[in-house]
Amino acid sequence: MAGESDDRGAARAPHVALLSSPGMGHVVPVAELARRLHAEHGFTATVVTYASSDSAAQRAFLASLPPAVGSASLPAVPLDDLVAAGAAIETLLSVEAQRSVPALAALLAGLGKDGSLVAFVADLFGADTLRAARDAGVPAYLFFPSNLLMLSLMLHLPRLDAELDGEFRDQPEPVRLPGCVAVPGADILQPLQDRTSDAYCWMVHHGERYRDADGILVNTFDAIEPNASAILRQPEPGHPPVYPVGPVIRQPDNGDDDATGCIRWLDTQPDKSVLFVSFGSGGALSAAQMDELARGLELSGQRFLWVVRSPTDSGADPGANYYDGSKSKDYPLKFLPSGFLERTKEVGLVVPSWAPQVRVLGHRATGAMLTHCGWNSVLESVMHGVPMIAWPLYAEQRQNAVMLHEEIKVALRPKVRGADGMILGEDITKVVNDTMNSEEGDAMRTKVTELQKATRSGLAAGGMSHKTLNEMVAKWKERTFA
Ligand code: UDP
């Protein structure tokens, strides 16, 4: 097994193996769950990643975990056939998991030799590995790194697929899932937007396979999705028990240095004055959209800290940096409009490709975040009491944006003009000013501060997320003595 490292700590502490799909947005919460199982419950753990997703950012992050949380990486499997055919990222991640089942089974067999392996946990694209774990006699769980809206969609997808006539975006009525905000068909999960695509078929397949899990841990918390949680927590034949155990978010000291000087710069700014602009671990904009964002920020006159990525060449694939967004292929700042850096140097800091996001969000100078609505970013923002501007790009981000804006009311959305989805500078200026400096912005700040408190009490002893993880862990520990 490539790159295996494992310090199992005390003899025969219960051990959990957790498989993360490629991408920091997956590795971070999976590894943090492992860290929490160790810190709060005395488990040892192996975080299993794919060699294909190896990156400096990922290595630094995994190296920062405690010694009792080891890591192993599954060797690369051939995916050239799919890459050559232009397969979507969801297809690549799903096929990679499926083709890696033999290597995973061998790894689990090795980890199981001393009898301490009490559970296997896979994340959302790893549904095909659940059976391999069960065949090896290990209870198999899913860790769902998104919210209950998305989980509910996945669990209902086989039925929706059977009933739907035409594409989601053409449905006259929004999609209504039990206890969840109504989502217009066009805002539903991006790979579901073309029902003839491989990516669509894979998502339906995963929705079916999730039923193989002994339980589903979800990176959300009751106070942010109270109605969906009340419904999904009810045992129901045909779906595994659901455990909202979040937020499981990255710790600020885990592999996050300040190489780009973000924190030093924030130290010189007034309290809650800076808009943090980031599109997640891999998101990027088209060159034209990047120009408009620069123009909008400049016109607003607000302070900002912008993590800039090189534009997607054609503007057609905003997830181009998926496997390693920290390494843009070009120096991204050269794509900014001429003179922008000079004109905004008194109020703005622009950093290439990567920022220590959790430290930035936790900084007293950060007042709001313009985010692509990746669920980790949302949780990190909420946990630090930071309101948002929702700028979704791909995956389930559009439905997250609907939820944040319409239901939870902790985000504003810029106006989108025209069918090409372009957001103009003037509209960016408006949403930035409204967020930083208006009654609407203040109302969002109040709401997000309430949720921040709820995350803290939920994770503290006796809180809902804490109790839910305890319940899960008690089941796993029973196996140690079985
Ligand atoms: N992240 C970071 N610095 C960056 C960009 C992203 O530390 O410059 C981290 C961020 O804190 C979060 C993860 O990468 O933990 C991104 O996950 P998310 O679910 O928000 O989006 P994804 O990257 O999966 O689209």
**Do 239 and 296 fall into the same domain?**
no
435 and 288, same structural domain? yes
Give 10-52 pLDDT, tens digit per residue.
458 999 999 999 988 899 999 999 999 999 999 999 999 999 8
Residue numbers of the domain that contains 86? 8-250+461-477
| 28 C-beta closer than 6 A to ligand 1 | yes
Residue 446 counted as domain residue: yes
* Structure confidence by residue, pLDDT tens digits, 76-109: 999 999 999 999 999 999 999 999 999 999 999 9
Residue 250 CA: nearest ligand 1 atom is 15
Q: How many CA atoms lie within 13 A of 20 on its CB side?
A: 29
231 and 105 assigned to the same domain = yes
Whether the predicted pLDDT of 7 surpasses 60 = no
Q: At 3, is the pLDDT very low, low, confident or very high (cuts 50, 70, 90)?
A: very low
Question: Domain total for the chain?
Answer: 2
CA distance 170 to 478: 49
Q: What is the pLDDT of residue 58?
A: 87
Catalytic center residues: 26, 123
Distance of CA 180 to the CA centre of its chain: 19
Tell if the pTM clears 0.85, that is, is over it: yes
In a domain, 245, yes or no: yes
Q: Does residue 377 line the site of ligand 1, with CB under 6 A?
A: yes
Tell the burial category of 128 from Cβ atoms under 10 Å away from its Cβ (0-12, 13-18, 19+). buried
HSE (side-chain half, CA atoms, 13 Å) at 358: 18
Backbone CA torsion sign across 144, 146, 147, 148: negative
Q: State pLDDT tens for residues 361-371.
A: 999 999 999 99
Q: Are 458 and 464 in contact (CB under 8 A)?
A: yes
Separation between Cα atoms, residue 29 and residue 217, nearest integer Å:
12
What are the tokens at 120? 């296997």
Q: Ligand 1, atom 8: nearest CA belongs to which residue?
A: 354
CATH number at residue 369: 3.40.50.2000
Nearest residue (CA) to ligand 1, atom 11: 357
Residue 329 Cα, ligand 1 centroid: separation in angstroms?
Answer: 18
| CA 316 / ligand 1 centre spacing (Å) | 21
Asked whether the predicted pLDDT for residue 327 surpasses 60, the reply is no
Mark whether 243 and 131 lie in a shared domain.
Answer: yes
Domain assignment present for residue 398? The answer is yes
The predicted pLDDT at position 481 comes to 56
Asked if the structure places residue 256 within a domain, the reply is: no
Regarding the beta carbon of 220 and ligand 1, being less than 6 Å apart is answered no
Within a domain: 335: yes
Query: Is the domain of 391 the same as that of 268?
Result: yes
What is the mean pLDDT of the segment spanning 469-475? 95
Q: Would the CB of 321 count as within 6 Å of ligand 1? A: no
Q: What per-residue confidence (pLDDT) applies to 6?
A: 47
404: CB partners within 8 A, 6+ apart: 373, 378, 388, 390, 410, 411
Structural domain includes residue 255: no
Based on the domain organization, do 287 and 246 belong to the same domain?
no
